[in-house]
Chains A and B, each alone.
Chain A
Amino acid sequence: MAERIIELRDISKSYGQVYALGGVNLSVDRGEVVGLIGDNGAGKSTLIKILSGVVKPTSGEILVRGKPVTGWSAARSRDAGIETVFQDRALAVQQTIVRNIFMGRELTSFMGWLKVGKEIEEATRLMREIGFTSKVFTPHSIVGQLSGGERQGVAIARAIYKQAELIILDEPTTALSLTETAKVFHFVRQVRASGRSILFIGHNIHHVFDIADRFVVLDRGKVALTADRSEVKSAEDLINFMENVAHPGGLAGLHDAGETEQRVR
C-alpha cells in the first residue's frame, strides 16, 4: 500500500451563506495521478486553494502522511511537499527559465550574490527530469519565447524543485493545442515516473481520462464519484455520468449512465 501523502476528511467551506464545499473527502497516495473533474462552480478552485493553504476550510480535517495537522496555511502546505501550478502559471515572461524556476528562492552565497553556475546546473537537472529537452532552448532562454506547453513545463519544473511530493496542476491543458497538450502529458508522466503524485484538475474530461489513475468527480461542493481507472471503461462513461449527476448513485449511476448513452441532449 502506497503511502498516503495527503487526506482531506469532511472538508467544508462556506462563504457567508453560500456553500462552496460541503463535506469533501479526498486523498492522494504516493506516485498516483488523481484526476479531479467538475463543472464550473463545482468547487474545484476552492478545493485547490484549501490544499495549497491559500484558503482555510470552515470545518474538516487535514492529514499529512496520516497525521492530522492544525493551523493549515500556505507555508504548512509547502512544508508538506505540496506545490501548486496555478492556471495562469505565474511566470515572469521576460525573464529566463532559470530566473523563473528560482523565483523567490534564489540560490545565493554570501551577502545574497547569486550562485549562477549552481542555478543553471539545477535548472538543467529539473528540466531533464521532466523530459523538457530541446535543441532550441537553454536555461538562459526567455520564457516569452516558449510555447504554451513549454511554459507549463517551466511551471512544473519550478514546482518539483525542492522535492515536492504532490503537484497540483490547475487546468494545465486549457487553451493549449493538441501538440502542446501532448507535451504537458509528457511532462506529467515524467513527474509520475519520478515517484511524485499529481492532482490533475481539468475541464476537458478526455484529457483527464488520458492521464489519471483515479477520478474524482466534484459536483456542487460534494464528491459525486470516486472511481479507479479500471472501473471506468471510457471517457464517454465519465461524460455521461457527469450529465447524470443530478441523480446521485455512485458507480451505479455510472453504469446507468452507460445505458442511457443514446440519450439526445
Chain B
Amino acid sequence: MEPDLQSPLGGTHGEPARTEWKHPSDHWLRGFVIDNRASLGTLGVFIVMMAVFMIANPTVFTTWYLYSSVLTTLPVALFVVVPLVFVVTCGEIDLSFPATMGFASWVFALVVQAGYDPFLGIAAAIVTGTLLGFLVGSLVVYGGLSSLIATLGMNFLLRGLIQIINEGKSMALTGLADSRAYTIFSSQVWGIPVQIFWAIGFVVLSAMLYNRHRFGAQVRVVGDNPDSAQQMGIDVKRVRVKVFVFVGIGAAIAGTFSVMINFTWWPTAGDGYLLPVLASVFVGGTPTWGGIGTVVGGAIGAVTVSFIQTGVVAAGLSGFYVQFFNGLIIILSLLGHKWNQARYR
C-alpha cells in the first residue's frame, strides 16, 4: 500500500486525510477470493472429490464416455438449480419444480405428437412453465402460505393431475430425431452434447441477472430484509412471485431437454430431480436463511452432485455406496460453508 503522504498537520482541518476509497486488500486476487469465497469453496470440494475418485481408479476417469454421460444429464439439473438459487436467496423454497418439469414437458410432448414443429412445442412448454410458476408463486405470496408446504402440496397436486389423465402411459416421440430443434438443442458437437453449451449460457446469463441486474439486486434485498425493502419502495410481493415464475421457466426448459434426450415422455418426468437439485443449491454455497447466494456456486454444486454417482461406480465401488457419498459430500460442504462465510445480522 502507498504511504499516506499527507501530513495530518498539513491538511486543512475538517478535511479527511484520505479522499479515495481503497479496497482492504492490496492485491486484486485477494479481493477476488473474498468476493467469491462461497463458489470457490464449492470448487474446492469438487476438486478434492474428483482427486479421491481418480486416486481410487485412475484409468476410468481418462475415458471420455464418463464425462459424456454426465454432460448429457447435468444440463437438465442446471436449468432448475440456477432459478432455485434465486428462490432460496429470496427467502423462499420451491419443491414443485419436478411436477412443473413433468407438466411442461407433457405439453411439449403433446404438441410434438400432434405433428407440430418441436419449436412450437418448446414455446408451449415455456408458456406452461411460466403460468405454473405464476400460479405457485401467487398461491404462496398472495395466499400467504408457507412456501415449503404449499409448493410440496403443488408438487403432489400437479403430478397427480398428470397421473390421473395419463394413467401411467408414456409417450414415444420417434419423429423428434430428424427435427431441426433436435439438432440445435440435443445433438452432439465434436462428441460433446450441445445441451451443455445452452446450460452454460443459461448459467452465465443468470449469474449476470443475479449480480448485475435490478432483479437480482431486489431479490437479494427482499431475502435479506423484506421490511426494509418494502420501506424503500420495492414491491416485495411482486419480486417474490417473479422468482417462482423464473423457476417455472427453468423447469419447463429442463423438462423439455430431458424429453429430447430420451425421445420419450414419461408421466414421472422430473421426479428424480427433486433431492439432487436441492442438494446442489446448498452444496453450492447458498445459505438457507436468504439474502445471499451464488449462481456459479450452485452450478458447480450441480456438477459435484452429478459426478458423485458416476464417480462412485467408476471408482470401483458398488452402487450401494452412492447414497452414502451423496450424504457425505452434502454434510462436508455445509460444514465448509459454515466456516467459510459469516452470517451478519
A residues contacting B by CB (< 8 A) are 86, 90-95, 99, 102-106, 108, 112-114, 116, 124, 127-128, 131, 133, 135-140, 142-145
> Which residues does chain A contribute within 8 Å of B233, judged by CB atoms?
104-105
B residues contacting A by CB (< 8 A) are 16, 18-19, 21-24, 35, 208, 212-215, 217-218, 220-221, 224-225, 227-229, 231-234, 291-292, 342-345
If A92-B229, A103-B234, A108-B214 touch, whether A128 touches B19 (CB-CB below 8 Å) is yes
> Which residues does chain B contribute within 8 Å of A116, judged by CB atoms?
212
Whether the Cβ atoms of A113 and B220 lie closer than 8 Å is no
C-alpha spacing A112/B214, complex, angstroms? 6
Partner of A90, one of B16, B24, B208, B225: B225
How many A-B contacts if CB must be within 8 Å? Answer: 89
Partner of B344, one of A99, A135, A145: A145
Whether the Cβ atoms of B212 and A103 lie closer than 8 Å is no
Min distance, Cβ B337 to any Cβ of chain A, angstroms: 14
> Which residues does chain B contribute within 8 Å of A136, judged by CB atoms?
24
Whether the Cβ atoms of A103 and B229 lie closer than 8 Å is yes
C-alpha spacing A108/B214, complex, angstroms? 7
Whether the Cβ atoms of A94 and B214 lie closer than 8 Å is no
Partner of B21, one of A92, A108, A138, A144: A138
Min distance, Cβ B245 to any Cβ of chain A, angstroms: 15
If A94-B344, A138-B23 touch, whether A112 touches B215 (CB-CB below 8 Å) is yes
The closest CB in chain B to the CB of A145 belongs to B344
Min distance, Cβ B227 to any Cβ of chain A, angstroms: 7
C-alpha spacing A159/B343, complex, angstroms? 26
5 contacts across the A-B interface (CB closer than 8 A): A99-B221, A113-B212, A116-B212, A133-B21, A138-B23
Whether the Cβ atoms of B229 and A143 lie closer than 8 Å is no
C-alpha spacing A125/B54, complex, angstroms? 53
Known pairs A90-B225, A90-B232, A95-B221 / 7 extra A-B pairs, C-beta < 8 Å: A94-B291, A102-B217, A104-B233, A104-B234, A105-B233, A112-B215, A137-B21
> Which residues does chain A contribute within 8 Å of B21, judged by CB atoms?
124, 127, 133, 137-139
Min distance, Cβ B216 to any Cβ of chain A, angstroms: 8
Whether the Cβ atoms of B23 and A103 lie closer than 8 Å is no
Whether the Cβ atoms of B22 and A135 lie closer than 8 Å is yes
